[in-house]
Amino acid sequence: MSFPGTINEKRSYIKLTKMSAQSQMRAMLDQLMGTQRDGTQNNSVKFTDDEVCKTFLLGCCPNDILAGTRADIGDCRKVHDLALKADYEMSQKTKDYFYDFDAYEHLKSFIHDTDQKIEISKKRLAEQQAEISAEVQSKANAVHDLNEQIGKLLVKAEELGMQGEIDESKAVLEEVEKVKQLKNEAEEAYRNSMPASTYQQQKLRVCEICSAYLGLHDNDCRLADHFGGKLHAGFIQIREELEKLSKLVESRRKDYETTMMKRRSDRDHEVEERRRKYHPSNRSRDENRRSPVRSRSHRHRSRSRSRDRDREYKRRDRSRSRDRSRRSYGSSRSRR
């Protein structure tokens, strides 16, 4: 059974076939309708959260592409959710989130690490093959190049056969036979250029795409398995996605910087407004401004309490003064 669509869609389909019928239906609904397929938010996580993998939202996370290969790097440390991906795709139609910049940085870092690994492997092989002259090495490289050409032609012939292009597939296979003859001649020239003891040790080359080791004398089946395999195809896809994102990011960088600057400014303004709104001193002033009647009433009560205190003080003073007068009058009469 063939399944039309992109490589990622095919992988999603394969994953679905391994689920139960109920799980398949749920996953397909999530992928089509997002987290609100039941009319309510089914997920507390939003696609805008930092914990969600933005590269996954664009369909090019290396953790998914290389899953099940010898370069499998396990589950992504960030969230992968088909429903969130559907939410993003629907929301992206009305707002640009610039997640292509996040994906570009992710893939750029991943490919940089891969290229470093390739260079380390090549250096290790070079140290082991240090005694080989430049002429001998060039002959070995010629054999490797022909091996790579054979592998790619075999993959192409298989694809043409699956598409029903039988004549074109046969033509490619005839070309493969011609390249094989060139390879045999190149191997003979390489074998005659170095001692037999050394010849058996100089068999490996590092693939410039996926960092796998290729044998100098790999047969057709091994070459087809490598160049048509999931590992090599996965790295080709990642590199192609990186190249595409690189061009896209370069063309959108000015818009990205302008938009990010405006969003930061809006966010800072919002934070400042929130701080001013909820600061105690500002809140009391705002309340007074919002309630002038309450403020006047408060001032009126304050003046009333002040007048009452003044009256009480005056009354006490008069009372004490009368008491002193009475005591003074009684004392003078007793002396007489």
Residue 164 Rama label (left phi>0; alpha psi -120 to 50; beta): left
Q: DSSP letter at 52?
A: B
Q: DSSP letter at 204?
A: E
List the structure tokens of 151.
């592998």
Region of poorest pLDDT, from 49-53, 68-72, 173-177, 324-328: 324-328
Higher pLDDT, 14 or 25: 25
Task: Evaluate whether 220 touches 154 at the Cβ level (below 8 Å).
Answer: yes
Q: Looking at residue 248, what is its pLDDT? A: 94
For residue 71, which of 228, 207, 197, 230 has the smallest C-alpha distance?
A: 230
Cα separation, 281 vs 266, in Å, equals 24
Look at residue 277 and give its three-state secondary structure.
helix
Residue written as token pair 């160049």: 227
pTM for the structure as a whole: 0.58
Q: Looking at residue 1, what is its pLDDT? A: 40
Task: Evaluate whether 150 touches 220 at the Cβ level (below 8 Å).
Answer: yes
Q: 116 pLDDT exceeds 90?
A: yes
Beta bridge partners of 32: none
Q: DSSP letter at 98?
A: -
Percent of the chain with pLDDT over 70: 65
Q: DSSP letter at 5?
A: S
Q: 102 pLDDT exceeds 90?
A: yes
Q: Which residues are CB-neighbours of 151 under 8 A, at least 6 positions away?
A: 223, 224, 226, 227, 228
Task: Give the pLDDT confidence of 228-285 residue by residue, as tens digits.
Answer: 899 999 999 999 999 999 999 999 999 998 988 888 888 888 888 878 777 666 555 5
Mean pLDDT, to the nearest integer, of 125-132?
69
For residue 184, which of 131, 143, 128 has the smallest C-alpha distance?
A: 143
**Average pLDDT taken over every residue of the chain:** 77
How many CB atoms neighbour CB 203 within 10 A? 15
Residue written as token pair 């089914």: 42
Cα distances (angstroms) measured from residue 79 to each of 57, 100, 189, 283: 10, 17, 54, 40
Q: Looking at residue 47, what is its pLDDT? A: 92
List the structure tokens of 219.
């047969």
Q: Which residues are CB-neighbours of 139 under 8 A, at least 6 positions away?
A: 186, 189, 190, 193
Q: DSSP letter at 131?
A: T
Beta strand 204-206 with 213-215 is antiparallel
